[in-house]
Amino acid sequence: MKIPFKYTIKNFTSRKLTTFITIFGVALVVFVFAAVLMMAYGIQKTLIATGLPDNVLITRKAANGEISSIIEGEAQDVIRTLPNIAVNASGKQIMSKEPVVIINLEKFSGGMSNVTVRGVSDVIFDLRPQVKIIEGKMFNFGLRELIVGSAVTSRFRGAKIGDVVKFAGDNWQIVGVFDSDGSGFDSEMWGDSQALLNAFNRGSAVSSLTLKLDNVKNFEAFKKNFDFDRRLQQFDAKIEQKYFEEQSELMANFIRILGIFITVIFSFGATIGAMITMYAAVANRTVEVGTLRALGFKRRSILVVFLIESLVIAITGGVVGLFLASFLQFFNISTLNFGSFAELSFGFSLSPSIVGYSILFAVLMGILGGFLPSVRAARLNIVNALRAA
């Protein structure tokens, strides 16, 4: 004989206070769990959006990031001779030689933090068409002028149009604000590549070199020619999107591991809460269980009905926690990018896989919290259960 599902629903609503407390506990744990995954995914999404599939980014092989990479002028000249590099309407190669440095600025929230300053070439908007000037104007090449990402101007003091930033022993005036459609470039300042090299006395040595392919399918051909040239053996060429995706992995994995570890600890409390709720349900319904057994219901049917009740509580809590976590998508936060050692602004982002993992996590808490009470209910002696009346 089967247990009617409506029996589970009836019992689910009979103890409103304890059920609500258990649902709240599960919801809180799922909220934290989903928030951690959304944070890690948001970082990855932001950094992946920083690159384009038809751009190639070249750095020194031993470098952990652009900030620790050096490409000398001779190597830059060799790279310029390689085939499959796109040209713009003026016939100029779409290639940007980019020194990358870190400076300190004061945050509106208090304290100092690192900001990336990137030197770019005059083909930058051909190379990265997703970048748009939204306030002010583009800087003049050859002058000590900067444009700043929208995330920088909103989080740091002295980073608005007309402000002057001092570094490398000189004053740099901010003349514009740009937006890169939510990518990591929004957390950077840009200036003239040559002016930045001169300010830091770096000669012609840049941190990275980014170029656009004449066709996105020609990367393997370009890479073959790049690797064949012995003068370029110290350097590595990667699709820009792939490069920034790899840069995001260390930080995203660190957040996931730390966050999930903390969440698992929290989940013990929610699981114990579910277990207490279900033990109370068994104690309050001893006579009902005895009656059901007397009517011919098998032990496994009793076990299933109580386990389903525990799962309903857990899944309800999971849905509530996910619903609350979904509102995090309206917020942007910032953290230190392990790859650049500079502040990176990003938003929480929800994906179907995060929804699936969060519900699965809630189901696991429901099973762990409801299994032992369900077994106890299934093993109740019929006669003793009926005597409890």
Give the contacts of 371 (CB within 8 A, at least 6 positions apart): 307, 310
Query: pLDDT higher for 41 or 276?
Result: 41
pLDDT tens per residue, range 267-323: 887 777 777 776 666 666 665 655 655 555 666 666 677 777 778 888 999 999 999
Angle (CA) 381-385-389 rounded to 5° is 165
HEC letters along the chain:
CCCCHHHHHHHHCCCHHHHHHHHHHHHHHHHHHHHHHHHHHHHHHHHHHHCCCCEEEEEECCCCCHHHCCECHHHHHHHHCCCCECECCCCCECEEEECEEEEEEEECCCCEEEEEEEEECCCHHHHCCCCEEEEECCCCCCCCEEEEEHHHHHHECCCCCCCEEEECCEEEEEEEEEECCCCHHHHEEEEEHHHHHHHCCCCCCECEEEEEECCHHHHHHHHHHHHHCHHHCCEEEEEHHHHHHHHHHHHHHHHHHHHHHHHHHHHHHHHHHHHHHHHHHHHHCHHHHHHHHHCCCCHHHHHHHHHHHHHHHHHHHHHHHHHHHHHHHHCEEEEEECCCCEEEEEECCCCHHHHHHHHHHHHHHHHHHHHHHHHHHHCCCHHHHHHCC
Quickly state the pLDDT bin for 80 (edges 50, 70, 90): very high
Give CA–CA dist 338/51, Å, rounded: 17
pLDDT tens per residue, range 192-240: 999 999 999 988 999 999 999 999 999 999 999 999 999 999 999 999 9
Percent share of the chain, pLDDT over 90: 51
Tell whether the model's pLDDT for residue 121 goes beyond 90: yes
C-beta of residue 231 within 8 angstroms of C-beta of residue 74: yes
Tell whether the model's pLDDT for residue 147 goes beyond 80: yes
Amino acid of residue 132: K
pLDDT tens per residue, range 17-27: 777 878 888 88
Amino acid of residue 387: R
Domain ranges of the chain: 5-48+247-387, 62-233
| Burial grade of 53 (CB within 10 A; 0-12, 13-18, 19 or more) | exposed
pTM of the prediction? 0.81
Give the contacts of 201 (CB within 8 A, at least 6 positions apart): none
C-beta of residue 274 within 8 angstroms of C-beta of residue 314: yes
| Per-residue confidence (pLDDT) for residue 286, from 0 to 100 | 61
CA dihedral (185, 186, 192, 195) positive or negative: negative
| Burial grade of 310 (CB within 10 A; 0-12, 13-18, 19 or more) | buried
